[in-house]
Amino acid sequence: MSGHSKWSSIKRKKAVIDAKRGRIFTKLIREITVATRLGGGDEEANSRLRQGILIAKEANMPADNIKRAILRGTGELPGIVYEEAVFEGYGPGGVAIYLEVMTDNRKRTVAEIRHLMTRFGGNLGESGCVSWMFEKKGLITIEKNNVTEDDLLETVINSGGDDFSEEEDVFEIEMPPEKLHNVRSQLESDGFKVLTAEVVMIPQNTVNVEGDSVGSLLKLMNALEEHDDVHSVSANFNIDDDVLEGVE
């Protein structure tokens, strides 16, 4: 299998979601609102909304916040209309960066993202310049404790997953995005503890980053992640663990 992106692994280890819960709430509210506007307010019939609600609950978002986001999406409550867009470019070391954004002012967001890319040694590119390097996948991580590969393989195959890999303290399972909910439900039914479940852009190849580029790249990735309009950040870099420890 292609393997998960290094950036997502770094985020998980550093518990970025818990440390920045307020910002995560803002992004989740936007996702739920947009998912509802595009696919309706019935989570059973709208897989994207169902996934957004699951993630919001895992982040301990109050139920009232979720309800209001859905009502804004259906138009039953007034609210800002967000536009979805994709930005692509390159970071230090020639790393491909793929951004999914939700914005109420595309012109402003483009200017701010371009500024961040330039500030940390990258550049914003044309549409399609790096998207071909990534594949959209559902990705689930589960605790590795007391999990045998044979048991996990059976569940993955029976639920529609593609494959899985062992990554230090977790197993990572890939599947087509539309199978994410089915695979998650089967894993939980079979007693596996799901840590994360999301649709991600997985790089098909990676660029090894070394030297001064490492620090600049990580600063850029963090800055993009923290931007309110950025919904997700994907990149195709690899940094050796011993190099990463020196930076952190």
Alpha-carbon distance of 246 to 248, in angstroms, equals: 6
Q: Which helix (H) or strand (E) holds 101?
A: strand 95-103
Q: Which residues of the chain have pLDDT under 50?
A: 1-3, 16-17, 19
DSSP letters along 15-59, please? THHHHTHHHHHHHHHHHHHHHHHHH-S-TTT-HHHHHHHHHHHHT
Residue among 232, 242, 161, 158 nearest 202 (CA): 232
Write b or e for each residue in 37-57: b if 16 or more Cβ atoms lie within 10 A of its Cβ, otherwise e: bebebebeebbbbbbbbbbbe
Alpha-carbon distance of 140 to 137, in angstroms, equals: 10
Alpha carbon 112 to chain centroid, angstroms: 20
* Topology (CATH level 3) of domain 15-74: Arc Repressor Mutant, subunit A (1.10.10)
Which stretches of 144-241 are assigned E, i.e. beta strand?
Answer: 163-167, 170-175, 194-203, 207-208, 230-235, 237-238
What is the model's pLDDT at position 4? Answer: 54
Alpha-carbon distance of 116 to 87, in angstroms, equals: 13
Same topology between domain 83-132+204-247 and domain 134-203:
yes
What is the model's pLDDT at position 3? Answer: 44
Architecture of domain 134-203: 2-Layer Sandwich (3.30)
Alpha-carbon distance of 44 to 96, in angstroms, equals: 35
Task: Spell out the domain ranges in the chain.
Answer: 15-74, 83-132+204-247, 134-203
What is the model's pLDDT at position 93? Answer: 92
- The CATH number assigned to the domain with range 83-132+204-247 reads 3.30.70.980
Alpha-carbon distance of 21 to 65, in angstroms, equals: 14
The pairing of strands 230-235 and 95-103 is antiparallel
The pairing of strands 237-238 and 207-208 is parallel
What is the model's pLDDT at position 146? Answer: 79
What is residue 170's three-state secondary structure? strand
Alpha-carbon distance of 198 to 137, in angstroms, equals: 8
Retrieve residue 57's tokens.
């609950």
